[in-house]
Structure 1
Amino acid sequence: MSSLTIASPADFHVHLRQGSLCKLTTPHVKQGGFDLAYVMPNLKPPVTNVEQALAYKAELEAIDSSVEYLMTLYLSPELTPEEIRKAKVAGITGVKSYPRGVTTNSDGGIESYEAYYPVFAAMEEEDMVLNLHGEVPSDADTDTHVLNAEARFLPHLHKLHARFPALRIVLEHATTRAAIDAVRACGPTVAATITAHHLALVVDDWAGQSWNFCKPVAKFPSDRTALREVIREGHPRVFLGSDSAPHPPHSKSVSSPDHGCAAGIYTSPVLLPLVAHLLESFGALDRLEGFVSTFGRRFYKRELSADAAPPSVQLRKVPEGNTIEKEYTSADDSLVPFWAGKQIGWEIVRS
């Protein structure tokens, strides 16, 4: 196969940050081949109300209006059922839950899900999406750490689904076989996203290599196999959420005594060719459109209209290899992408 045409790819988990960095990252959504971005709310301060979300959306649209931005709110004590109903009317799509302290800008994350049951009930009534960062905080007393934090979170997923069976829930950036099995076991209102980098990495790739460090961390080869298998199967409730997370190079390459290196991998500028390259490597290239467009759009009720030809992106095979840029820069910022300088086998056809 030398070329592919993909109908309107959608990234259902992306970090675009704020300020000058936002001006660098936002155009990369389209550059990477995507027409829709599901935008995370963990800014400083986090996006906790409708006015903030709409202001953020306007900022993104002013940078690049060719992309559809779906906005989210940060689950916090300030979020009320009344704000959820207001958000629905305003066109905000979902709410993101971060357990306290597990990842970038999650210091205001939650410690108890039960306290938010009235919010979840309102979300269920309004048909909004709950996005779960599926980890629990590390705890030496219970031997909880980055390698088992996802598995120990899964009982929370099952409990939430049982309590709110009509609430659409997405287990974000699944990394383990246990997570895939948990989503399979739930009903049609529960889905999972998988990142490009978790299809490539295992624990050996980030241990001692800060550029490959993210949260949740990549796990064991058997877990990566499970992620690849569910994509090769074409499971309709598993789709792409890149978790593309930009950090300045100094915060990735240098660890501080208090915080270590920044957790996050940046894939937006090369996302669609990268995903095509990875899926081809494990025999799932024929599942590309479902994984990057159809399945996620269906779950989020953003399906393409049957009455008009949808926008599409054309990919072509590059036998000699397409080299990923080593760095993306602006006057104020620079970012190093995943697999910088490495060759992949696909590229976007530019008009």
Structure 2
Amino acid sequence: MSITIPAPADFHVHLRQGEVSELIVPHVRKGGFDLAYVMPNLKPPITSTEQALKYKADLEKIDPSVEYLMTLYLSPELTPDEIRKAAAAGVIGVKSYPRGVTTNSDGGIESYETYYPIFATMEEVGMVLNLHGEVPSDASANVHVLNAEPTFLPHLFKIHEAFPKLRIVLEHATTRAAVEAVKKCGPTVGCSITAHHLDLIVDDWAGQSWNFCKPVAKYPDDREALRAVVREGHPRFFLGSDSAPHPPEAKSTSSPTHACAAGVYTSPILLPLVAHLLESFGALDKLEGFVSTNGRNFYQRPFSSQKMGRESVTLKKVINKRVDEQYFDGKSTLVPFWAGRELNWEIA
């Protein structure tokens, strides 16, 4: 049995910087993808057109066969003029990180209203606003990792109401509330879903650092809501892997002052993993829409824009294909999601 998927696209991926990128970047293609929507939370974050284009050039030196769509980090340095400049240079979106909620988000925002002039310009030039849909933990308000996403959703509604023509993506949804919120908003609001959130629940990361990510996986009913919207084939829900590699020592250890790093690494096994998961909950017939069509339609990146790489990818059914325990290129080591476990699909 085999399945051919036209030009899969990953609309949320972390490719890091420096030496470790030489190991990470080729894994986009290894995992079945030739388009990567690249996150800007580097050190320092990507806040200008020049930085975005330099980063893109660095990635293209490592693997020129992948189409990299670049983003800016929402920060006080951004101006409407910079947004216009970025859009003219081909930068696709702006990513919003609430302060301190995930990796390299210490410079994240505290007030969305401050950025309304930015959002208005983005709406004007057709850029996408990517929202990390959580609020910071606050013990006094009983806000924590398990309810940070539902608590954020009023911000989504408010921004959408103020800028109804602005394309907004609620990133890496993890809750039934988020799915329902995106459906309620209408055609200019989309939603990315990761492979690992289609698999994990809270019990899978509590005490298991390799499955720990932000936002954390939630309850079985929340996972079922994610699976159901994929089975439905809803056109505004699509794959954004949030593949976020960290060195093994940052994932496997913690101390009273240093928690383990948040993020799981799915890029090298991504398309087979998604096929395996969708088959497990009766949605294999929706694979093409979820990994190819829906995201491209929302981001207005038609298949005809694919100027490099493969026009399609073929998966074949296998029995118990074991995931590598780790990847090592002589300089860096990374451990993938599902290391040592078995998949029933592989790239032909």
Q: TM-score range by the shorter chain?
A: over 0.9
Aligned: 1:176 with 2:175: yes
Residue in 2 that maps onto 1:165:
164
C-alpha distance in structure 2 between counterparts of 1:161 and 1:230, whole Å: 21
Residue in 1 that maps onto 2:194:
195
Residue in 2 that maps onto 1:127:
126
Residue in 2 that maps onto 1:111:
110
The code of the aligned residue for 1:311 comes to: E
| Superposition pairs of residues 248-267 of structure 1, within 5 angstroms | 248-267=247-266
C-alpha distance in structure 1 between counterparts of 2:118 and 2:27, whole Å: 33
Residue in 2 that maps onto 1:241:
240
Residue in 2 that maps onto 1:31:
30
Q: Secondary structure at the match of 2:303?
A: coil
Q: Secondary structure at the match of 1:13?
A: strand
Task: Give 1:253 deviation, angstroms.
Answer: 0.4
Q: Secondary structure at the match of 1:290?
A: helix
C-alpha distance in structure 2 between counterparts of 1:176 and 1:277, whole Å: 21
C-alpha distance in structure 2 between counterparts of 1:272 and 1:306, whole Å: 21
Change (3 A) 1:221 1:40: same
C-alpha distance in structure 2 between counterparts of 1:271 and 1:252, whole Å: 20
Change (3 A) 1:61 1:82: same
Residue in 1 that maps onto 2:298:
299
Q: Which runs of 5+ in 1 are unaligned?
A: none
Q: Runs of 4 or more off by more than 4 Å in structure 1?
A: none
Residue in 2 that maps onto 1:46:
45
Aligned: 1:288 with 2:287: yes
Using the size of structure 1 for normalisation, the TM-score is: 0.97
Task: Give 1:330 deviation, angstroms.
Answer: 1.7
C-alpha distance in structure 2 between counterparts of 1:243 and 1:187, whole Å: 24
Q: Secondary structure at the match of 1:305?
A: helix
Residue in 2 that maps onto 1:86:
85
Residue in 2 that maps onto 1:317:
317
C-alpha distance in structure 1 between counterparts of 2:37 and 2:258, whole Å: 27
The code of the aligned residue for 2:132 comes to: H
Residue in 1 that maps onto 2:11:
12
C-alpha distance in structure 2 between counterparts of 1:266 and 1:155, whole Å: 30
The code of the aligned residue for 2:134 comes to: E
C-alpha distance in structure 2 between counterparts of 1:98 and 1:297, whole Å: 23
Q: Deviations over 1:312-349 (max 9, x none)?
A: 1000000x211100001122211000010000100001
Residue in 2 that maps onto 1:225:
224
Q: Deviations over 1:283-331 (max 9, x none)?
A: 00000010001000000010112999x711000000x211100001122
Change (3 A) 1:147 1:76: same
Q: Secondary structure at the match of 2:169?
A: strand
The code of the aligned residue for 1:118 comes to: P
Residue in 2 that maps onto 1:210:
209
Residue in 2 that maps onto 1:344:
343
Q: Deviations over 1:11-64 (max 9, x none)?
A: 000000000111110000000000100000000000000000000000000000
C-alpha distance in structure 2 between counterparts of 1:238 and 1:136, whole Å: 22
C-alpha distance in structure 1 between counterparts of 2:306 and 2:212, whole Å: 44
Greater alpha carbon shift after TM alignment, 325-334 vs 285-294: 325-334
Q: Secondary structure at the match of 1:91?
A: coil
Task: Give 1:257 deviation, angstroms.
Answer: 2.2
C-alpha distance in structure 2 between counterparts of 1:305 and 1:14, whole Å: 22
Task: Give 1:176 deviation, angstroms.
Answer: 0.2
Question: Identity of paired residues, percent?
Answer: 73
Residue in 2 that maps onto 1:68:
67
Using the size of structure 2 for normalisation, the TM-score is: 0.98
